[in-house]
Amino acid sequence: MTTRRTLLGGLLLALATAGAWVAWLSWESGWTVDPQTGDMSGPYAVWQVAAAVLTLGALAAVGGWWLNIWLVATVMTVAFTVPWAVHAASTDDTGLWAVGAALVAIGTTIGTTLVGGAAGWLRRRTA
């Protein structure tokens, strides 16, 4: 039963994590230029990234409550970084997508480990 729960939980977590990327970041809001400073920002709006982070945080908390933290961190990092990297590689002419992918992977790993680990710790504390 534990193996089934782990497999099913990991699969659902992977699908939900990839779905978070699709929902929030698969489409870009475009590059914007500040008319006063000339600074360029984008391709995502701040609210898109914030929504993605909040969604990933909620998924990591639920995953950490029910599953092993190392499974949660690994599955979520791969399921979020791979679609991000594929999309970035297909739209980038500079080759810097690889640096971005590494940063996304590092940030996702740290965030999911902290949030999921805290949820797992809290579950054990309250049991």
Residues 13-26: tens digit of each pLDDT: 999 999 999 999 98
b/e 43-70 (16+ beta carbons within 10 angstroms → b)? ebeeebeebbeebbbebbbbbbebbbbe
**Residue 86 confidence (pLDDT) above 60:** yes
Q: What are 42-83's pLDDT values in tens digits?
A: 788 889 999 999 999 999 999 999 999 999 999 999 999 999
Residue 28 is predicted with a pLDDT of: 75
pTM for the structure as a whole: 0.89
